[in-house]
Structure 1
Amino acid sequence: MLFDLTDLRLFIHIAELKSLTRSAERMHMSLAAASNRVKELETRFGTRLLYRENKGVQLSPAGETLLAHAQQFMQQVERLKSEMQQYNNGIRGHIRIFANTTAVTEFMPEVLGRFLGRHPQVNVALEERLNQDIVRGIAEGTADIGIVAGPVPEQGLEVIAFSTDRLVLATAPGHPLAAAGSVGFAQTLDYQHIGLHEGSTLQHFLNRMALEAGQRLQLRIQVRGFEAMCRMVENGVGIAILPQSAAVRHARSMRLALVELQEPWAVRERSVVVQALDALPTYARELVDEIRAGAQ
């Protein structure tokens, strides 16, 4: 074998501390033993990993590559330890999900209610993240399943499209845009908007679209969810752009006018993102199937 866990931990410490001596102390080993481990790694990989300088050590390009893989590998080890510990607590599985705003608030509660009802010994962590952070989390192995809307950059990941997410404009019935059959996004920028909280995927996306149009959203107030957003709209505080599924649901109990957005980006494809579906545990693959079925 080219390395063991001690080698990787030592190398990560060296990269952080820029010192072989301090890294050896942190690992509770002699300087000679630490130096020998690094030399053995360089011999096995057939390349220099460190540059030894007067002020400490610097990683070579090969060392930077090893560091990136070592950090990812150790994250996987820690996740393995954490998940195996769950067995001692009566939990047989753990799934970490990074998802966008719509997934977290609109369909994942129902999906997880059904799934966890059938799998009481599986633990799920659901976190709302921005699209780019979701994809990065899957690529780096810090999450098992990602749920995004819109295009996914090519990163060697498995992308499973399962439905579409249409954005619409919601206004109070008496608003000037309420009677329009459809509107362009630029037309809405003349009015005060109700936005979601900072960190929301949807709000981040709309802010970016406004900037690309050379303007800024006039955010009158920001709220935590679509229900609060629709209540603000109903009472004339402002207008809002939100997923059609949420808008239609709240329009059943609130006085709202729903107007189609003309922008091509208003229709976004929803996708599940994983490193490799076949590599997931059986219960995680079942959850992916539940997401695909439930969101539709």
Structure 2
Amino acid sequence: MLFDLTDLRLFILIAELNSLTRSAERMNLSLAATSNRIKELEARFGMRLLYRESKGVQLTPAGQTFLSHAQQFMQQVERLKGDMQQYNNGIKGYIRIFANTTAVTEFMPEILGKFLTLHPQVNVALEERLNHDIMRGIQEGTADIGIVAGPVQGEGLEILNFSTDKLILATALEHPLAGVGKVTFAETLEYEHVGLHEGSTLHHFLNRIVSESGQRLKLRIQVRSFEAMCRMVETNVGIGIVPQSAALRHKQTMQLSLVELSDPWSVRERSMVVQSLDALPLYARDLVEFIRQQTAQVPPVPVEKEAA
């Protein structure tokens, strides 16, 4: 055989850390043993996989190809372990999820809480990522399930629509736009906004919309969560574009006016993305179906039409 699982794990780690030394430490190998393993791999394939540089190592084009196959191979190994774990109570399943801001902060915590209670042998890693990072994570096999909102394209991936959400405008009760019924996003740009942090999916999405229109978003403050956004909006620091599901939840405890956006892009399909549903471990397929069931149980609630 050209390589073993240790070779693959080691190479993936080297690609992540760009360092033979740190990878050796993480794998509990000596630096000499680590270097020899890479040299043997290169000798077996008859080509260089790494560029050795003073600041670390970088993958060659051949190394990039080897990395892609190594990640896919290791993902298959994890799937095999997962499917077999149902026969051994001592083994736990592990699901890696990359998701957008709304999923991470709004509906996934409740869904995962229920799922993990029903599946005590399964562990989950949930990470907030941007849409393009989510898609890349699924393609490269660093995540098992991706959750995105809005139109997505992933050649060779399965995209499973599971619910719909809508972006709306939240304002303080005394704001000029409170209770107007409908507005366009462009009409909100003359006012100061409360936004999410730089790394959030929604921030990047709205910035792209503004850039394409040639206008500017007046950000008064940026915060880390939809709850913080709504609290700032409530005190009239600014107005905010938020998912309807989050706005309706926070409106129960805050003094907010919710205004519908008439822009077509405000309606967003939520989708799960996987490499192949059939290839996922049984417990990961169970989670995909559980997410579908849980989100189907909650019908979309219309924005309250407030009197002008």
Structure 2-normalised TM-score?
Answer: 0.76
1:182 aligns with 2:188: no
Q: Deviations over 1:60-115 (max 9, x none)?
A: 85565334434654677699999999x99955111111111111111111111211
Percentage of identical aligned residues: 68
| 1:110-125 correspondence to structure 2 within 5 Å | 110-125=110-125
Aligned residue number for residue 103 of structure 1: 103
1:222–1:82 distance in 2 versus 1, CA, 3 Å? farther
Q: Deviations over 1:118-172 (max 9, x none)?
A: 1112111111111111111111111111110012222311110011110000111
| 1:202-281 correspondence to structure 2 within 5 Å | 202-281=202-281
1:239–1:60 distance in 2 versus 1, CA, 3 Å? closer
Aligned residue number for residue 45 of structure 2: 41
Moved more, 249-258 or 191-200: 249-258
Structure 1: runs of 5+ lacking an equivalent: 19-24, 43-48
Report if the CA contact (8 A) 2:229-2:240 is conserved: yes
| 1:15-164 correspondence to structure 2 within 5 Å | 26=31, 28=33, 38-42=42-46, 49-50=47-48, 64-70=64-70, 73=73, 92-164=92-164
Report if the CA contact (8 A) 2:95-2:123 is conserved: yes
Aligned residue number for residue 306 of structure 2: none
- How many residue pairs get aligned? The number is 280
Provide the rounded CA distance (Å) in 1 between the counterparts of 2:105 and 2:282: 25
Report if the CA contact (8 A) 1:233-1:239 is conserved: yes
1:214–1:127 distance in 2 versus 1, CA, 3 Å? same
Report if the CA contact (8 A) 2:166-2:267 is conserved: yes
Name the Cα RMSD after superposition.
Answer: 3.8
Moved more, 175-184 or 126-135: 175-184
Report if the CA contact (8 A) 2:158-2:276 is conserved: yes
1:192–1:93 distance in 2 versus 1, CA, 3 Å? same
Provide the rounded CA distance (Å) in 1 between the counterparts of 2:115 and 2:239: 35
Deviation at 1:251, TM superposition (A): 1.7
SS at match of 2:117: helix
SS at match of 2:105: helix
Report if the CA contact (8 A) 2:138-2:146 is conserved: yes
Provide the rounded CA distance (Å) in 2 between the counterparts of 1:262 and 1:59: 48
Report if the CA contact (8 A) 1:76-1:141 is conserved: no
Please tell me the residue identity of whatever aligns with 1:209: I
Structure 2: runs of 5+ lacking an equivalent: 21-29, 297-308
Q: Deviations over 1:234-262 (max 9, x none)?
A: 11111000011111122222221111111
